[in-house]
Amino acid sequence: MPTEEQIKELAYAIWEKEGCPDGKETEHYFRAKQILKEQEAARVIELAPPPPMPQLAPQPPIIELAQPPSKRKKSTRRKKK
């Protein structure tokens, strides 16, 4: 959570950047507070550890290689007598 001092410093910087307009103190304060909250949330996300990788069950090794299919097609016709 941003401190009151941080919010006021940023609000002042926003006020100066906008040319020191009168009557915008509240707007600048809440904008500064929102900016600091968003920055803090982004920092928390960056620091969060990645989720653990799921553990896969061990697979048995493949011992035999698959045989390629025969190139000769089986006939479905009946043989003549």
Instruction: Kindly write down the DSSP assignment for every residue of 19-68, as one continuous string.
Output: T--TT-HHHHHHHHHHHHHHHHHHHHHHHSPPPPPPPPPPPPPP-SPPPP
Mean pLDDT of 29-40: 94
Task: Quote the pLDDT of residue 70.
Answer: 64
pTM, entire model: 0.55
Q: Is the pLDDT of residue 66 over 70?
A: no
Structure tokens at 37: 């909250």
The confidence band for 22, taking pLDDT boundaries of 50, 70 and 90, is: very high
AA letter at 7: I
